[in-house]
Amino acid sequence: MAMDSSPNQKHWLFWDGRCGFCRECAEWVRRHDRDGRFTIIPYQSAPSPPMTEALREDCRAALQVLTTKGEIFGAGKAVGFVLREVGYQRLGRILNWRWLSPVVEWGYRRVANNRKWLGRLLFGHGCRDEPSGS
């Protein structure tokens, strides 16, 4: 899926603003985005455009990236893209290898489905118990 990401000349990284684990991950990207390639924003606060109802629905399920070329990547594919853009080119490429992609997506889902307790374990906080949505 592709869409217009104008007028922003940066990639958009949309994450769940209700999730402490997601916040920590977004902050990690922010710290490593030394070239300022990303606009990093909770999807619940994203302006329209570039946010659309279809993209918002996808954001409820997984991390989403809208590239400067208008490409949209979600879940594991988004993680690989982000890693490549912030300087981990080799790891990002490996995560997006076609034959490894199903394993990466499976792993992304395991982490996403357990982010509440993983956030508590790793960072001392998880997702809030608020319902998903805008």
Q: Which two tokens stand for residue 45?
A: 């606060």
Mean predicted lDDT score pLDDT of the chain: 87
For Cα atoms 3, 62, 108, give the angle at the middle one, nearest 5 degrees.
Answer: 125
- The pLDDT of residue 119 is 65
Model's pTM, two decimal places?
A: 0.84
For 18-65, write each residue's pLDDT tens digit: 988 899 999 999 999 999 999 999 999 999 999 999 999 999 999 999
Confidence of residue 74 (pLDDT cuts 50, 70, 90): very high
Q: The sheet that has 64-66: what strands, in order across it?
A: 38-42, 11-15, 64-66, 72-74
